[in-house]
Copies of this chain bind each other. A is one copy, B any other.
Amino acid sequence: MRIGVIHGPNLHLLGKREPGVYGTLSLSEINERLKTRARTLGVTVETRQSNSEGEIVSWIGEGESWYDGLIINPAAYTHTSIAIRDALLAVSLPTIEVHLSNIHKREAFRQVSYVAPVVLGTISGLGPYGYELAMLALVHHVQKASP
- Residue A136 is within 8 A (CB to CB) of chain B in the complex: yes
| B79 and A9 form a contact (CB under 8 A) | no
- How many residues from A make CB contacts under 8 Å with B? 56
A9 to B141 alpha-carbon distance, docked (Å): 26
List residues of A (1-46) whose CB comes within 8 Å of B's CBs.
8-10, 12-13, 17-18
Chain A binding site: helix, strand, loop or mixed by DSSP? helix
A117 to B125 alpha-carbon distance, docked (Å): 10
Which single residue of chain B is at the shortest CB-CB distance from A60? B10
- Residue A113 is within 8 A (CB to CB) of chain B in the complex: yes
| A102 and B120 form a contact (CB under 8 A) | yes
A91 to B10 alpha-carbon distance, docked (Å): 10
| B54 and A50 form a contact (CB under 8 A) | yes
| A54 and B57 form a contact (CB under 8 A) | no
A8 to B54 alpha-carbon distance, docked (Å): 10
Interface string of A75-109 (1 = CB under 8 A from B): 11101111101110111000010000010110001
- Residue A114 is within 8 A (CB to CB) of chain B in the complex: yes
Question: Which of A57, A105, A117 has the most chain B CB atoms closer than 10 A to its own CB?
Answer: A57
Residues of B within 8 Å of A130, CB to CB, are 121, 137
B9, B83, B133: the one contacting A77 at CB < 8 Å is: B83
- Residue A47 is within 8 A (CB to CB) of chain B in the complex: no
Residues of B within 8 Å of A96, CB to CB, are 126
A79 to B83 alpha-carbon distance, docked (Å): 10
